[in-house]
Structure 1
């Protein structure tokens, strides 16, 4: 038995169903498309390679080794003239990284002659192009023959805990300047040694405490990633104990101060934690002389 208007109801229901299907179709299609679309990750333009003797180091996108120049201590490219022919600058406009690298560690700086150059943690980056049959030819992909050249060129390990810097510095006790290689931390901050530690080696951890340690803070690090000019066996640590006072009572903390050839390493507060700053070399303070740590 048919009810009144049943054919009209049937047609209305069919049209409603069709509208619903058509209305959802774009959404369903969109969902399907979104599942099929994949996020495309750009290929890195800076990579990390490694070898057994050098550890990890930076390369360009094609695997060509990148270097730092220890004379660029202040963050400026000082490789000019004939130097620039052997060590072409590296520039990448579109920095893409992978792994543990941070794009924020890279920046661009103009050289004195107006060319853009990529920097890593403040260090200008270079290729190596030695003379071959009278022509400067960039080393092949995967080669690291530029490391250690002149004891001033090194691969760029992103995990260096100590680096080598080179510049003319003043001896505060004589007011004489001399070009020196010296140790810096990974941020380019100068490290010093204290002659009293040489004269009293059995009391190393107590030769600079209290106010002395405020002016000459100990250098603490657990890392041992070093440029090839430095030997890991030359580094060790001493334990320093510091008394700590707090609202819940007093206590002590211990830290491991890095030593180089048995000499503890320190910062100097007047350097203001600034890369390349060397205000403490030759100073007589806290009962003895302070010198940059020279490898």
Structure 2
């Protein structure tokens, strides 16, 4: 075979590679390939702001009774609040801007159904009874917000959420909202992950009288370090504020500086601090608490 023939074969081979590359390129570079719709996304309400919705823009909600990360809505409740499940391949699914896959998980309800959670909160739709039948609200609606004061749209940036749970002190006894012994749920403040927040009965209006300058006692009652105010619609944002405690921001409500309890160990719904060192010294914070006394 002469050099002319070899050169011809070489050009044919190169041309073949070029044609193959052009015809069999990576699908990811194909501009005509449609972008998958996110299974979960952020929608915006004129009154509630950004909140989580499904692929079609249907609002998703959290339930204050789900303080421990489990589904506590069954029977007639489940008909009005159908569970939301994003599917078996959530880890590979597309998410809307502003959402992180690490915040989502899947639980199995007591009746064996799968349900998607966000930051540990099981997610639900709202389907109120209309003329004898449960009809899920339309895309973009948020009529489930504040139903019975325990249902709220799911948001990414709550600094305060509401938990409806039995108070159980470090002494193992049950307490009511007034911190007397008794059985019954209390609707109280937590952070965005369901960790209980407390006030110190000795504090004054916007004055933290517990934390030491070197923060050597902060592990016992850690301050709630934030000045962000994103709260459920049943709470008045103007009653929240922040103070500076030795260089750190601490959230306040009605002038009460807000704290965690170290022994709760960040466990959702734990509220052991209600009895430590005695009932009423470190109460959980509720919407209707009286304002902190002036200094």
Cα distance in structure 2, aligned partners of 1:52 and 1:102: 24
Stretches of structure 1 lacking an aligned partner (at least 5 in a row)? 1-10, 242-253
Cα distance in structure 2, aligned partners of 1:179 and 1:223: 27
- The partner residue of 1:262 within 249, 255, 262 is 255
> Which aligned segments of 4 or more residues in structure 1 are displaced greater than 6 angstroms?
none
Instruction: Work out whether 1:26 is the aligned partner of 2:29.
Output: no
Cα distance in structure 2, aligned partners of 1:222 and 1:13: 79
Cα offset, 1:170, TM superposition: 2.8
- Is the CA contact (8 Å cut-off) linking 1:151 and 1:229 kept in structure 2? yes
Cα offset, 1:61, TM superposition: 0.7
Equivalenced residue count is 269
Structure 2 match to 1:54? 48
Cα distance in structure 2, aligned partners of 1:26 and 1:72: 62
Cα distance in structure 2, aligned partners of 1:158 and 1:187: 10
Structure 2 match to 1:14? 4
- Is the CA contact (8 Å cut-off) linking 2:41 and 2:52 kept in structure 1? yes
- Is the CA contact (8 Å cut-off) linking 1:170 and 1:177 kept in structure 2? no
Cα distance in structure 1, aligned partners of 2:19 and 2:225: 59
The answer to which structure has the higher strand fraction is 1
Cα offset, 1:175, TM superposition: 4.3
Aligned pairs for 1:198-213 (under 5 A) are 200-201=204-205, 204-209=207-212, 210-213=215-218
Q: Which moved more, 1:172-181 or 1:13-22?
A: 172-181
- The partner residue of 2:186 within 180, 183, 189 is 180
Cα distance in structure 2, aligned partners of 1:59 and 1:174: 40
Structure 1 match to 2:166? 168
For the residue of structure 1 that corresponds to 2:78, the secondary structure is helix
Cα distance in structure 2, aligned partners of 1:76 and 1:108: 10
For the residue of structure 2 that corresponds to 1:233, the secondary structure is helix
TM-score, reference length from structure 1: 0.85
Instruction: Work out whether 1:222 is the aligned partner of 2:222.
Output: no
Cα distance in structure 1, aligned partners of 2:19 and 2:232: 56
Cα offset, 1:231, TM superposition: 1.5
Task: Please say which structure displays the higher CA radius of gyration.
Answer: 1
RMSD: 2.1
Cα offset, 1:42, TM superposition: 2.0
- Is the CA contact (8 Å cut-off) linking 2:242 and 2:250 kept in structure 1? yes
Cα distance in structure 1, aligned partners of 2:264 and 2:221: 10
Structure 2 match to 1:249? none
- Is the CA contact (8 Å cut-off) linking 1:283 and 1:291 kept in structure 2? no
- Is the CA contact (8 Å cut-off) linking 2:189 and 2:285 kept in structure 1? yes
TM-score, reference length from structure 2: 0.85
Aligned pairs for 1:1-295 (under 5 A) are 12-33=2-23, 34=25, 37-38=30-31, 41-93=35-87, 94-95=89-90, 96-170=94-168, 174-197=180-203, 200-201=204-205, 204-209=207-212, 210-241=215-246, 254-284=247-277, 289-295=281-287
